[in-house]
Chains A and B, each alone.
Chain A
Amino acid sequence: MEKTQNNKAWFLVLPVLVLVAFSAVLPLMTVVNYSVNDTFGNNEFFWTGLEWFEEMVTSDRLWDAFGRQMLFSGIILLIQIPLGIFIALNMPKSGFWASFCLVLMALPLLIPFNVVGTIWQIFGRVDIGLLGHTLAAMGIDYNYTNDPLDAWITVVVMDVWHWTSLVALLCYAGLQSIPQAYYQAARIDQATRWSVFRYIELPKMKGVLLIAILLRFMDSFMIYTEPFVVTGGGPGSATTFLSIDLAKMATGQFDLGPAAAFSLMYFLVILLISWVFYTVMVNMDREDAK
Chain B
Amino acid sequence: MKFRGSAIVMTVYLLFLLVPIYWLLNMSFKTNAEITGGLTLIPQTFTLQNYVTILTDPSWYMGYVNSMIYVMLNVVITITVALPAAYAFSRYNFMGDKHLFFWLLTNRMAPPAVFALPFFQLYSAMNLIDTHIAVALAHCLFSVPLAVWILEGFMRGVPKEIDETAYIDGYSFPRFFIKIFMPLIASGIGVAAFFSFMFSWVELLLSRTLTTTDAKPIAVTMTRTVGASGIDWGVLAAAGVLTIVPGALVIYFVRNYIAKGFALGRV
Point out residues on A near B: beta carbons under 8 Å. 1-10, 12-13, 15-17, 19-20, 22-24, 26-28, 30-31, 86-87, 89-92, 99, 101-115, 118-120, 122-123, 127-131, 133, 161, 165-166, 169-170, 172-174, 176-177, 207-208, 211, 215, 218, 221-222, 224-225, 229, 242-243, 246-247, 250-251, 256, 259-260, 263-264, 266-267, 270-271, 274
Contact = CB atoms under 8 A, between A and B. Distances in A.
Contacts of A274: 109
A-B interface, 7 closest residue pairs, ranked by CB to CB distance from nearest: A110-B247, A27-B118, A12-B88, A173-B262, A9-B92, A173-B263, A9-B88
A16 B82 contact: yes
Contacts of A28: 115, 118
A38 B210 CA distance: 24
Given A28-B115, A161-B17, 9 more contacts: A4-B93, A9-B94, A12-B85, A19-B137, A112-B201, A113-B204, A115-B244, A118-B236, A243-B112
Contacts of B267: 166, 170, 211, 215
B147 to A, nearest CB: 9
B9 to A, nearest CB: 4
Contacts of B112: 222, 224, 243
Contact of A130 (B39, B160, B265): B39
Nearest to A112: B219
Nearest to B197: A110
Interface stretch (B45-53, B54-62, B100-108, B181-189): B100-108
Contacts, number: 277
A161 B19 CA distance: 11
B236 to A, nearest CB: 7
Interface string B61-105: 000000000000000010011101101111111110100100010
A26 B145 CA distance: 17
A115 B223 CA distance: 9
A102 B107 CA distance: 29
A178 B251 CA distance: 25
Interface string B106-135: 111111111111110110000000000000
B166 interface: no
Interface footprint category on B: 35 or more
B237 interface: yes
Given A4-B92, A30-B122, A161-B20, A111 B39 contact: no
A136 to B, nearest CB: 10
Interface in B137-152: 137-138, 140-141, 144-145, 148
Nearest to A28: B118
Given A12-B88, A31-B114, A246-B113, A105 B14 contact: yes
Interface string B182-225: 00000000000000001001111100000000000011101100
B6 interface: yes
B250 interface: yes
Given A23-B137, A105-B14, A119-B23, A6 B94 contact: yes
B17 A104 contact: yes
A222 B16 CA distance: 25
Given A19-B81, A246-B113, A13 B88 contact: yes
A30 B23 contact: no
B141 A107 contact: no
A243 B204 contact: no
B175 interface: no
Given A4-B93, A16-B144, A104-B18, A27 B107 contact: no
Contact of A224 (B6, B14, B148, B205): B205
Given A23-B140, A222-B112, A111 B117 contact: no
26 contacts: A10-B88, A10-B95, A15-B80, A19-B137, A31-B114, A102-B255, A105-B14, A110-B250, A111-B243, A112-B201, A112-B218, A118-B222, A122-B236, A128-B39, A129-B23, A130-B23, A170-B265, A172-B262, A174-B263, A211-B266, A224-B112, A224-B205, A243-B113, A247-B205, A270-B109, A274-B109
Contact of A13 (B84, B109, B246): B84
Contacts of B144: 16, 19-20
B264 to A, nearest CB: 8
A250 B116 contact: yes
